[in-house]
Amino acid sequence: MDKIKTQEVWFVTGTQHLYGPETLKQVAADSSKIASALDKSPKISQKVVFKPILTTPDSITELCTEANNSKNCIGIITWMHTFSPAKMWIRGLSILNKPFLHFHTQLNRDIPWETIDMNFMNLNQSAHGDREFGFIGTRMRLNRKVVVGHYQDTEAIDRIAVWVRAASAWNDALNMKIARFGDNMRDVAVTEGNKVSAQMKMGYSVYGYGVGDLVKMVNEVTPAAIKKLLAEYGAEYKLTKAVAASDTLKEAARIELGMEGFLKAGNFKAFTTTFEDLHGLKQLPGLAVQRLMAKGYGFGAEGDWKTAALVRSMKVMAAGLKGGTSFMEDYTYHLDPKGMRVLGAHMLEVCPSIALGKPTVEVHQLGIGGKEDPARLVFKTATGDAINVSVIDLGNRFRMIVNEVEVVKCPDMPNLPVASVLWKPQPDLKVGAAAWILAGGAHHTGFSTSIDAEYLEDFAGMMGVEYVLIDEKCDLTEFKKELRWNEISYHIWL
């Protein structure tokens, strides 16, 4: 996972020459103060860099060109301290290819009732300056986030912080390679999709490999490396002596080392496996996948590269935050009218970043794939708010579906040999699942207890991907209308 604060967000202030040099000096000083306050905020995960104020179409175009060409710049924040005639912005904004956030703010929080005069009014006029700028963004149909509030308002800073993390994920996605061991699970529809469209829209590139390429690296792992990794398992997890000494666990360690070697050598950020294509591997990779996810790799089972990419992006957004992020699958229901629940899990591959307490390494039979019994981490998840996210290919576009859920306490399940999560979907299971199914959401998801729906909304906006939210306010009749209207909207705008 990339280190925090290696990237930059540029703070860009628009104005014009009309006000004279003295006022412009003040504009620059005020703007620098706001940029520096954002930069110092522990909530904002990257640097905020103050840029000289912009007064002409040429300087605006130059700034946008510079942002496009800068490797470190992942997006710009714009603010119109005074009035900045927005025709000046057309050329620059038309070429800007980084995400932008429009911060509609003011240096002063309160109106100084006793001293306010026309000079004050002329200096502090973002209330109308930002409206002129907002118009051109809308007129040009530009995707952007608009955040309103005083620059020290914690709620406004939180919303900017979310956007900065989404911009990091977008930057990461543009440089993302996904390794795909084997193809899609035979006959499965939702995990398929157009990889050319995906790369054009969502940035990442999917590289297919025969599982033999992976097997070769797994077979080259040395006994010394396996011994070292087994010691690591012993330190990090609970396990019985029998499991610790088993050939199964040694084999799991061999698979993990081979897989990690493969991913590192190819500079991959995410990967997929499929239980239908394991020739030469003795087990379905379980423990290996779980631990690689915990290290920051995205993962999708059964060849699901869209979910693998999504899990990686969600992990980038969540870097350093509390909670965790995992590949997930809606598995089975508890339909008791007193509290309907979804039990989420997978055959093996759930990320221990969402574990409550120390996971246990266990070896059990797997009735699918026809391989030896695989090792896996078993655990439960802490209660609290979470999200499930799916990206599907609708043929003419991608759609992202987010369902807010509440992780609830799970009764003991002594015979269930996999990691699991029990949740209540918003607004309830009946409406939430109906909306999900109408929207076409997959059984596979990216699940996170670290980030909320706003991160995904910002991220989808940056990619230009359709976004629908199923939250506590979801009403099925309205939701169906939204899906129907989006069909028209995306026919016009694509």
Return residues touching Mn ion (CB under 5 A).
301-302, 329
Q: Residue 289 in contact with residue 214, Cβ under 8 Å?
A: no
Tell the smallest beta-carbon distance from residue 304 to Mn ion (Å). 7
**CA-CA distance, 10 to 72, in Å (whole number)?**
10
Query: Token digits for 325?
Result: 């992020």
Tell the smallest beta-carbon distance from residue 191 to Mn ion (Å). 8
Q: Which is nearer to Mn ion, 38 or 289 (CB)?
A: 289
Helix axes 211-219, 247-265, angle to 10 degrees: 120
Which residue type is seen at 53?
Answer: I
Q: Residue 315 in contact with residue 305, Cβ under 8 Å?
A: no
Q: Which is nearer to Mn ion, 130 or 329 (CB)?
A: 329
Q: Residue 235 in contact with residue 347, Cβ under 8 Å?
A: no
H/E stretch holding 420? strand 420-425
Q: Which is nearer to Mn ion, 329 or 404 (CB)?
A: 329
**CA-CA distance, 467 to 316, in Å (whole number)?**
19
Q: Residue 454 in contact with residue 162, Cβ under 8 Å?
A: yes
Adjacent-strand bridge partners of 207: 179
Tell the smallest beta-carbon distance from residue 79 to Mn ion (Å). 46
Alpha helices in 75-222 (DSSP H): 90-95, 118-123, 126-139, 154-174, 195-202, 211-219
Look up tokens 């002329």; give the residue: 122
Q: Which is nearer to Mn ion, 282 or 443 (CB)?
A: 443
Tell the smallest beta-carbon distance from residue 153 to Mn ion (Å). 43
Q: Which is nearer to Mn ion, 104 or 180 (CB)?
A: 180
Q: Which is nearer to Mn ion, 8 or 329 (CB)?
A: 329
Tell the smallest beta-carbon distance from residue 301 to Mn ion (Å). 5
Tell the smallest beta-carbon distance from residue 273 to Mn ion (Å). 11
Q: Which is nearer to Mn ion, 371 or 481 (CB)?
A: 371
Query: Token digits for 360?
Result: 């246990």
Which residue type is seen at 44?
Answer: I
Tell the smallest beta-carbon distance from residue 323 to Mn ion (Å). 23
Please give the residue whose beta carbon sits closest to Mn ion in the complex: 301
